[in-house]
Amino acid sequence: MKVLLVDDHPLILSALQSVIRGLGDDVEVVGAASAREARAALRASNDFDLVLLDLQLGDANGFEVLVELRAGYPGLPVVIVSASDRTSDVIRAIDLGAMGFVPKRASNETLFEALNLVMQGGIYVPPMTLGSERPGPKPEGDTVPSYLAIVREQAESGEPQAQPSLATIGLTPRQTDVLGLLLQGKPNKLIARELGLSVETVKDHVAAVLRALNVTSRTQAVLAVSQMTQEQGGAPAWRPSTLR
C-alpha cells in the first residue's frame, strides 16, 4: 500500500510516517509538507492507494485541497487527520468527499482501525463527535444527525434498547445498492447509470433510504451508517465491488 501523507508540521509528519509504516512491511509512505508538494507527488506517481490530509496547511486551505483531490483523483480515498474534532468540520469533510476523519489526538490503534476500514470501502468518523456535544452553546452548523441523537437518548436512559442496524432498518436490496453508491459520494445521475435505473427512480430510492435512516441529507446518512458499522464491529456494511 502506498500512502501520501500531507502535513506541514515536520514533527507530526515524521511521527505519522512512522506510525503508518507500522501497518505492515508492504506500506510505503510519501511525505508532503505542503499542498504544492502533494500535487507534485501525485503528478509524479499514479499508484497511491490513500491520502492522509491535514486541514491546516501553510500554503492552502485543507478543505479546498480535499475538493481538488476529489475532482482530480476520484478513485483515490482521502482521510482527514486533523487537530480539530468539531462536528462541523467532520460533517464538512465527509460532505466534500473524505472517506474518513481522524483527530490527531486519537491513539495509534484508532488510526489503524480507521485506515483499515477505509481501505475495505468503509467510512470512518470519530464516535465521540457523533455521540454527543459538550454542554453549552454550539457554533452554527454543529448538529447531530437525528438517528444519532436517538441512540444517545436511549443510552442515557439506562434501559436496554435494540440498536438500529442496516439489517433491521428495512431497506430493499435495490435501496441497499443505492445507499452503497450514495456513500461513495456519487450523484443521482451516476447512480442511475451504474444501476440501470432512471434518475427519478433513484431519487425515490434515495428519499426512502433517508427516511429509513431518519436523516434529512446525504451527509447525515454517511455519518449515521458510519456510526452503525462502528457500533456493530467496525466492518463496512457495504463493499463497492458488490454493487456493480
Q: What string of pLDDT tens digits covers the 244 residues of the chain?
A: 899 999 988 888 888 888 888 777 788 999 999 999 999 999 999 899 999 999 999 899 999 999 999 999 988 999 999 998 888 898 889 888 898 999 988 888 888 888 888 887 778 888 644 444 443 333 333 333 333 443 344 444 444 444 445 666 788 999 989 988 887 777 889 899 999 999 999 999 999 998 888 888 877 787 777 767 665 554 444 443 333 3
Helices then strands, each counted (H, E), the chain: 11, 7
What pLDDT does 109 receive?
87
C-alpha 103/C-alpha 219 separation (Å) is 19
C-alpha 190/C-alpha 196 separation (Å) is 10
Beta bridge partners of 102: 81
Q: Give 116: exposed, middle or buried? Use CB within 10 Å, 0-12, 13-18, 19+.
A: middle
Contact predicate 2/47, CB 8 Å:
yes
C-alpha 20/C-alpha 70 separation (Å) is 22
Grid coordinates of 11: 514533527
What pLDDT does 72 receive?
93
Contact predicate 51/69, CB 8 Å:
yes
Phi, psi of 157 (to 5 degrees): -70, -25
What pLDDT does 21 receive?
82
Contact predicate 116/136, CB 8 Å:
no
Prediction pTM value: 0.64
* Ordered domains of the chain (ranges, CATH): 2-126 (3.40.50.2300), 173-243 (1.10.10.10)
Residues near 218 by Cβ (< 8 Å), separated by ≥ 6? 95, 182, 206, 210
